Amino acid sequence: MLRLSLALSSLSVLLISTAAYSQSLANLNRSTTETSSRDSNARAIAALKRLDQDVIVYRSLADFEDGRKLSLVSLITFERHLSEVCAEMTPLLDELPASKLKNQLTNALDAYRDGLFWWRQADEPRVVNVASLSYAARDRTPADAAFHATMPYTVAIHWRQAHDYLVRAERTLAR
């Protein structure tokens, strides 16, 4: 009887120590995952900040009308920077679970993409490339001209939206 109670107590001590060890491994794994998630979030925000430094964020139409400049870099440079950031952020966003932060980061990146799309539409290079000339007539109706005139401000709106989403993502990460 004494041997049986001694064996049972030894077994219970073994089970308790195994459970405690498993919990400590789970806590270690969870803290490692949280740390890597925070690092991924910080890298994604840093990548978006690089794009934010390339563009000019206007707060109003009046500010835009005074400046009329869309970016601190050329269109080609911004395209290259955006493609680098997209390549960097795609795996980071895939790792993140569905959350408010992921939505904000995705929305900021999408706003930069949309801004680039409209910037390409509005871009009228001052140097004419002879190879790109076509003989098709380019008659613009007054409606087309008015639409084309609003494209630069559309780009500025996308830059502002991207900036706002980035600021929100930083605040969410700081919590």
Residue 147 has pLDDT above 70, yes or no: yes
160 and 57 Cβ atoms separated by less than 8 Å: yes
Q: For the chain, how long is the longest CA-to-CA vector?
A: 104
| pTM for the whole structure | 0.71
DSSP state of 96: S
Predicted local distance difference test score (pLDDT) of residue 111: 96
* Strand partners of residue 109: none
Scored b (16 or more CB within 10 A) or e, 66-76 reads eeeebbeeeee
Residue 7 has pLDDT above 80, yes or no: no
Q: How far is CA 118 from the centre of its chain?
A: 18
Q: Is 79 helix (H, G, I), strand (E, B) or coil?
A: helix
pLDDT digits (tens, 9 = 90+) for 93-120: 988 888 999 999 999 999 999 999 998 8
Domain boundaries, the chain: 37-174
